[in-house]
Structure formats: structure tokens, C-alpha cells
Amino acid sequence: MKILTGNDLKSGAVTWWTGVGWSLDVNDAADVGEDGAKIIAREEGAQNVFAAYVIDGVKTAEGVRPAHIKDRIRALGPTVRPDLTLKPSDPEAVNWVI
Amino acid sequence: MVEVQFRFRDDEAVNDPAVTVDAFTDQSNATAVRIEPGDDARALLPYLDQLALVEVNFPAWTDGRGYSSARVLREAGYTGEIRAVGDIVIDMLGHLKRCGFDAFAPEHPLNPTDAQNAFDRWDNVYQATADGRQPIWAKRHPAGV
Amino acid sequence: MYKYDEYDQQMVDTRVAEFRDQVRRRLSGELTEDQFRPLRLQNGLYLQLHAYMLRVAVPYGTLNSAQMKVLGDIADKYDRGYGHFTTRQNIQYNWIKLEDTPDILADLAKVEMHAIQTSGNCIRNISSDQYAGAAADELVDPRPYAELLRQWSSFHPEFLTLPRKFKIAVIASETDRAAMRLHDIGIKMVKNDAGEIGCQFYVGGGMGRTPMIGPMIKEFVPLDQLITYSEACLRVYNRYGRRDNKYKARIKILVHELGKDEYARQVEEEFAHLLSQGIEPPLAELERIKPYFDDPAFETDASDDLDLSDPDFRLWVERNCHAHKQAGYTIATVSLKPIGGIPGDASADQIRLMAQLAKDYSFDELRVTHAQNIVFPHVKKADLYTLWQKLDEAGLGTANLDSVGDIIACPGLDYCSLANARSIPVAQKISERFGSAEKQAEIGELKLKISGCINACGHHHAGHIGILGVDKKGVENYQLLLGGSEGADTSLGKITGPGFDEDGIVDAVEKATGVYLANRQEGERFLDTYRRIGMDPFKEAIYG
Ligand code: HEM
Ligand code: SF4
């Protein structure tokens, strides 16, 4: 699948396009098919997001997994500070990245 | 031609078409020339008396060669108009003026209030440049004391 | 330490107002991200993997305790309770909100700090020797000259949109503790035959993808021509540095392509012209700055005796303390490299504790080192044991300076959007593998440096052992380099061969140290042995 990610203008937080809006949780990411560029232009224009780009991902039983390690780290948080990731109480979360 | 949006000179605006540096040094009796980022402003030094307008083009504002071109001309004693043209953004204005620009013709007109704020921003400056403003070190040590 | 006068304060306050205005224009949509990026970068504001990142300048690495305290407070108030000290003697915060940045800058301005030109294609924060003003071996204190350059380079109207970033370092001793020749301009304070102090200029050094050691281009620039000569160096670069390819835009490429003699000739021509332009501050300005860096009120009869009966303390003194010019005092370095920790990170509480300790035991002063550690420059030996105990309680008592555990590591793929691989986990694993004091002591001085990509923020080219993260078809991979150095004997490391995975690189490092231990002669450091026996024995052990 093709998924769309960017950063929130005010906070800089990593966000994922859900089909109707932006979410902090990569598992909410929607398949944008061929529409990525169009959505980016609209959403950046409306200041809802910036530095947005389209990436490959796969949908698994556990959720959405970005194809590249860089985006998996963006989705979770720094692997060296599990306490600051989106899943601070899940010791297995880091393995999902790698 | 793009409008001059800001001008800090009292003399009559020069509107002669500007020729390229190559065309100018080759022949001509033109009184206006346009410097591109890759041109050597020093090629114009023998002809400063003849010139009334030098346009310095910024195809992209992040290419800062034009700042040096303007200072080179002012340091050589050129007193005619130096006009910044092209991709001119608010945040460059004060710095351009410090390097000797006294006219500004941005490709996309700028918000006049923001521009005025940018020109007025710095009450003091750390460096001596061709604009003649007294740098902070000179104020700290009046008359070279 | 330097103190702002009304002018300096006004400059910094004006910048806060300017940036507040730029942020307002960005949030209102007047500025697009493309237009805003170069502006925010000139204020040290990046976009990184998880959020905005703010880099705060620590000019020539010197801080007072009030400033250090504010750095801790900012970490709590606007970030997630920690900061990262960098190889450029600055501090970075990883979780900053755009809306908050004007207020952060305002908080910084209150203690004479800022983020001006900590990024972007302009003259960056000036770095210097972290032992300046304290080292026994310095000719003069380099910081007054660095301060003069700081003022000259701040908002220099001609040099804000250079071809690429521009880094200047100033040192004043034979032992180069600032990697001076790996800077765009390295300045070494020297004395000429007439006994006058002046500046020796090295231009065109740098790391990144094409590392180069800067050649000397002028042996002696008198103090009353320092600014004019610097301006000439920059103008030639601004006019002729390459702008067609950002990987060839650093001044090192210009100097390399022109040849150092031709570059020096062009600078000389520009210099001769600029000398008549009246751009040099009077020497009185240097004289005004100098007293700020006068020695603190040392006790002249302080004792050199130290009670070393506590073995842990003894180890720390041996590893982390350095000779001071004043009898009875020492320079103490706090290692931000606890075993298995994140190199360069410190919590808000640790930062504030160091601020308080500097006030109590180091004449209110601290330094940030390019090895990502913190220095107390002036500690009375009589106070040293108390200082160490307080540090140790807070997890800041690690005794490993310049040894294999004192690893320099860039943020890598855990934080950095340009990274190919993570640096920090590799640093942590190596640090644990070599964690025991006995092992570190056996190996002695070994500078290990890790970068997560070719940009070399972790100085991997200059490590006795360097590690470079690369991307091998989407999987993290690490190359090993041997033989780099950034001291007075600057050299660039060479790649040993094919790369490794995360565990493989840790093993490879261990094998390399094994070769050293088996081959070293009396008194040789790792680097010395490598230089003597060459790459082959290491290759054999690692790949054989
Ligand atoms: C996390 C965000 C960072 C980004 C995006 C970044 C970006 C870069 C880039 C692109 C270069 C190569 C410049 C060139 O070759 O022209 C570079 C070089 C460098 N950076 Fe960083 N960097 C970051 C963090 C750091 C940190 C944390 C440090 C200190 C630990 C650092 C210190 C340096 C140094 C010392 C160099 C080499 C300078 C030279 O080439 O002369 N950077 N950085
Ligand atoms: S070396 Fe690469 S990965 Fe490391 S901080 Fe610099 S740009 Fe990022």
C-alpha cells in the first residue's frame, strides 16, 4: 500500500493520513493509491501538515508497517529511549522497528 | 519590466534597459547594466562614471553572490543606483541595503508593512560596510579611542 | 567570561523579535515551508525525525552557571527533560514545538544566549579549545579573538547566504583540542620572531563526504588585521565557491580545485583592497574584550595535595583531570558517556546540577567539549573529592575520558532525518563490551567516533577507530575505519573493507583492539601501533 506521512506544522509531530484527517498512530494510515500528490498539495496548502511525502507500507495483522526503517522509527520514536516512544510500556515495540 | 517597489534615492529613477555585463564591456555606451550571480562585478570598475544603474539579479534568494557584487561596486566608489531584482524576500532587505543596494524590484511584490519592519529592524550593526553606518565597535570607541 | 553590553543585548533581543515575526508569518501562511526553511535554519531550527530540533549556540564552548541552569530549565519546560551536547560544542533539543521557539529564544536572551547561525549556509558558532584560559600549555587565551569573530560574523550582511555552511575554530596551543584543521577556517594564535601575537590561518579543512585537512594559507596575520583578513577569505569564497552542486560547495573544494596557493593569492588581493576600507575594529575593541577572560581569583597558595585513597576517585582523577596552569587547581571533565548510555545526552536535572557545582567549585564556569563532555575548568584540588562525589551520585562520575568508552556519536537514525543507520545503539554496545575499568585501562587512549551517515557529524574520519553507518538495501550496515586523528597530528582514517551488521561491528572493534594489544610496544597508543604496523594485520584479524 501507499501511505502518506508528514509533520504537524505547529508541533512538528509525525502524522499519518487517515483518509479524512491526520493521526499520530501509523496504524490509522489509509492506502492513498495514486492520490498522494493531490492530497499533499491540498493538505500542505491548508497548513494542515508540512514536509509530507508518500511511502510504501504493508498492512499486517498487527497494523500498518512502513517499508523503510526510517519511517518505522518515525512512527514509533527513538529506539534508544523507549520511554519517549508512542508505546512506552511495550518492551517489544523496538523489535517492530528492526 | 518589474516595478521598483522600494527606492532610497532622491534622484530621478533610471529606466534605461539594462544590458548584460558581456554586452556592456564589449561595446556599448549603455548607462544601465545587469549583473548575474556568476558575473565579476570588477569588470565594471573602469566604467563606473558612465553608469547610472546597476541591476543585480537574484534568480534564487539563497544565492548570495549579489551581496558581494554590490559591495565591490560601492567600495570602488560607485554612487549610482544599485537595484536588487529577482527573487527578493522580506528577510533579505536590511542586509541588501547594508551592502549598498538602494533600490528593490522584487519579482513578487512584498507586503509593505513587513518590508518596512525589515528595513527598520536593526538599530545597530556589528560590521562596517559600504552603507556608512557606524558599527557597534565604533560607538564603543568614539574617535578611535 | 564575556558579558554583553547594551549593544550585544539589543542585537540578540532584536533577533528574537525578528524570529517571532518570521514564525508568525509562517503560521499565518504568508511564508511557505520552502521560504521558511532557510530562515528557521539560520536560527538553528531543523525538522528531524520526530519533531523540530533546536540547536542553541554555546560560543567557543564557554558557559556560566546561570546559562547552564537555563539550558536545563528549557529541557524541562519545552522539551522532554533532556538535551544533547554536540561535537560543535552546542546543545540540541529534540522535541521542540514551532510555536514555542520564540519564547525559548526569549528565555535564552535573558542569560545572553541565542541560536543565531547555528545552522544554515552562514558562518556558524565559533568553536575553540575547551581548556582555554586554564590549560598549562596555551600561548594566550584564544577566546577574546573568538569573541571578536563572533561579533563580526553575527548577521554579517554579505555572508548570510554562502554556498554552504562555514565553521571557524580558534586555538592557542600546540595540542589541538578543537580539530582546528578540520574547519573551514582554523586559526591558531602564534607568536612571531618579533615576539608579537598574531593569527595563523588554515583554510579549507572539513569532514563530510570529502574529508580534507586544511592547509596553512597565511603564516601570520597581525591582530589589527584579523577581521579584514577573515573578510577577504569569506568574500573570495562567497564569490567563487561552487553553487552548482551542494556536495561540492564547501570551501575545502574551492581551495582544493584552485590549489591553496592560488586561493591564498586571491585572498591576498582582496585583503590588500579591503585594508583601505576601514572595516577593522580598533585594537581597543580587543582590549575591551580581553579583561572579561581574565583569570578568576585563584588562591595563590592552594595546595597540590590530593588524597587518592578512594580507588574509584583515583581512577577518575587519573582519567578525567588535566593539568591546570595554576598550582593547586585542576581541570576536571565530566564524561557524558556512562557505560551503555547515550553519548552527549544529559537530563535537565543533571544539567542543573552541573550548573550548581560550577558555581560552587569552578568559579561559575563550564565548557562544552567537542567530544560531547562537560568541563569544570577551574577546580581547586582541595574541592575535587567533594565535587566528584556529588557528580558520581548523579551518574556523572564515569572515569573514561579519551578511552574506548568515551565514544563520540552523532544522533544517527534514532533522531536524524539524513541518517542511514543508528549510531547510538552501536555506541551503547561497544561501551558495554568494553565497560570494565580494567579493560579500558589496559587499552588506554582510544578515540572511537561514530557517524550515522557520510556527513560525518560524529567525526568518524578523525577517530583512531571510526564507524560509519551506511544503508545496505534498507538494512543498517557499518563500515570500520582505522587511523584517523584530530590532534596536532591530524590524519584521516581508512576503511578496512566490507561493512558489518550491528553485532558484527562490535566484534570487529574488539578484534582491532586485540591486534593492538598483541603488537604494541612500550608506551604506544592504539593509533601509534596502527601507524607503525599498518592496516594489514588488522584486516587479517578482522576478515581473516
Ligand atoms: C541531527 C541533525 C543534524 C543534521 C541534519 C546535520 C547535518 C549535517 C550535514 C548535512 C553535514 C555535512 C556538511 C557538508 O559536508 O557540507 C554535517 C556535518 C557536520 N555536523 Fe551535522 N547534522 C546534524 C547533527 C549534528 C550533531 C548532533 C553534531 C554534533 C554531534 C553535528 C556536527 C557536525 C560536524 C562536526 C560536521 C562536520 C563538519 C565538516 O564537514 O566540516 N551535526 N551535518
Ligand atoms: S552524520 Fe548523518 S546521521 Fe549523523 S547527525 Fe550527521 S547527518 Fe545525521
Separation of alpha carbons C415 and C343, rounded Å? 13
> What confidence score (pLDDT) does residue B28 get?
75
* Residue A21 maps to a domain: yes
Separation of alpha carbons C293 and C295, rounded Å? 6
Per-residue pLDDT tens digits of chain C, which is 544 residues long: 999 999 999 999 999 999 999 999 999 998 999 889 988 988 999 999 999 999 999 999 999 999 999 999 999 999 999 999 998 789 999 999 999 999 999 999 999 999 999 999 999 999 999 999 999 899 999 999 999 999 999 999 999 999 999 999 999 999 999 999 999 999 999 999 999 999 999 999 998 889 899 999 999 999 999 999 999 999 999 999 999 999 999 999 999 999 999 999 999 999 999 999 999 999 999 999 999 999 999 999 999 999 999 999 999 999 999 999 999 999 999 999 999 999 999 999 999 999 999 999 999 999 999 899 999 999 999 999 999 999 999 999 999 999 999 999 999 999 999 999 999 999 999 999 998 888 998 999 999 999 999 999 999 999 999 999 999 988 999 999 999 998 778 889 999 999 999 999 999 999 999 999 999 999 999 999 999 999 999 999 999 8
* Residue A66 maps to a domain: yes
Separation of alpha carbons C334 and C394, rounded Å? 11
- Residue C338, classed as helix, strand or coil, is coil
Is residue C249 within 8 Å of C243, Cβ to Cβ?
Answer: yes
Bridge partners, B82 (sequence order): B54
* Ligand 1 atom closest to C179 (CA): 35
Nearest alpha carbon to residue C147 among C256, C312, C287: C287
* Residue A83 maps to a domain: no
Out of B65, B90, B141, the one facing C285 most closely (by C-beta) is B141
Contacts of C292 (CB under 8 A, 6+ apart): C1, C2, C3, C144, C147
Tell me, using a 6 A CB cutoff, whether residue C424 lines ligand 2: no
Nearest alpha carbon to residue C379 among C358, C399, C395, C398: C358
Percent pLDDT > 70 in chain A is 100
* Residue A40 maps to a domain: yes
B82 vs B46, B90, B134, CA distance in Å? 17, 18, 21
Structural domain total, chain A: 1
Is residue C70 within 8 Å of C56, Cβ to Cβ?
Answer: no
Contacts of C214 (CB under 8 A, 6+ apart): C180, C181, C182, C183, C184, C185, C186, C202, C203, C204, C205, C206, C252, C255
- Grid coordinates given for C180: 582546528
* Residue A94 maps to a domain: no
Strand B19-20 to strand C197-203: parallel, antiparallel, or no bridges (unpaired)?
unpaired
Separation of alpha carbons B103 and B93, rounded Å? 10
Q: What are phi and psi of A97, to 5 degrees?
A: -65, -45
* Residue A86 maps to a domain: no
Sheet bearing A22-23, strands edge to edge: A22-23, A14-17, A2-7, A50-59, A64-66
Tell me, using a 6 A CB cutoff, whether residue C206 lines ligand 1: yes
> Which residues in chain C have their CB less than 8 angstroms from residue B122's CB?
11, 14, 155
C453 CA to middle of ligand 1, Å?
A: 10
Nearest alpha carbon to residue C493 among C477, C475, C481, C476: C481
Bridge partners, C472 (sequence order): C475
Crossing angle (nearest 10°) for helices C65-78 and C348-361: 170
Residue A98 has pLDDT above 90, yes or no: no
Kindly provide the b/e burial profile for residues C289-308, where b requires at least 16 CB atoms within 10 angstroms of the residue's own CB.
Answer: bbeebeeeebeeeeeeeeee
- Grid coordinates given for C218: 597565511
Q: Distance between alpha carbon C378 and the CA centroid of its chain, in Å?
A: 20
Q: Which domain holds residue A7?
A: 2-70
Sheet bearing C197-203, strands edge to edge: C127-128, C168-171, C185-191, C197-203, C216-222
Residue nearest to atom 20 of ligand 1 (CA): C457
DSSP A51-86: EEEEEEEEE-SS-EEESSHHHHHHHH--TT-GGGSS
* Residue A60 maps to a domain: yes
Separation of alpha carbons C504 and C515, rounded Å? 17
The 10 Å Cβ neighbour count of residue C542 is 23
Q: Residue C491 is which amino acid?
A: S
B6-144 to CATH, choices 3.90.960, 1.20.1420, 3.40.50, 1.20.120: 3.40.50
Tell me, using a 6 A CB cutoff, whether residue C467 lines ligand 1: no
- Grid coordinates given for B45: 570598475
> What confidence score (pLDDT) does residue B46 get?
94
Mutate to test the pocket of ligand 1, among C455, C459, C461 (most ligand atoms within 8 A of CB): C455
Separation of alpha carbons C319 and C357, rounded Å? 20
Q: What are phi and psi of C526, to 5 degrees?
A: -50, -50
- Grid coordinates given for C224: 589589527
Tell me, using a 6 A CB cutoff, whether residue C419 lines ligand 2: yes
Whole-angstrom Cα Rg for chain B: 16
* Closest-CA distance of chain A to residue C428, Å: 9
Contacts of C461 (CB under 8 A, 6+ apart): C207, C211, C481, C484, C492, C493
Residues of C with CB under 8 A from a CB of B: 5, 7-8, 10-11, 14, 17-18, 21-22, 25, 30, 35, 38-39, 121, 151-152, 154-162, 235, 238-239, 243, 273-274, 277-279, 281-282, 284-285, 288
Burial of C99 (0-12, 13-18, 19+ CB in 10 A): middle
> What confidence score (pLDDT) does residue B145 get?
44
Mutate to test the pocket of ligand 2, among C416, C478, C479 (most ligand atoms within 8 A of CB): C416
- Grid coordinates given for C415: 533522531
Residue B144 has pLDDT above 60, yes or no: no
The 10 Å Cβ neighbour count of residue B60 is 11
Q: Touching check for A10 and chain C: CB below 8 Å?
A: yes
Q: Where are the domains of chain B?
A: 6-144
Burial of C511 (0-12, 13-18, 19+ CB in 10 A): middle
Q: Touching check for B50 and chain C: CB below 8 Å?
A: no
DSSP B8-72: ---SPPP-PPPEEHHHHHHT---SEEEE-TTS-GGGGGGGGGG-SEEEEEESSTT-THHHHHHHH
Confidence of residue B1 (pLDDT cuts 50, 70, 90): low
Domains of chain C: 6-110 (3.90.480.20), 127-290 (3.30.413.10), 311-393 (3.30.70.3340), 417-543 (3.30.413.10)
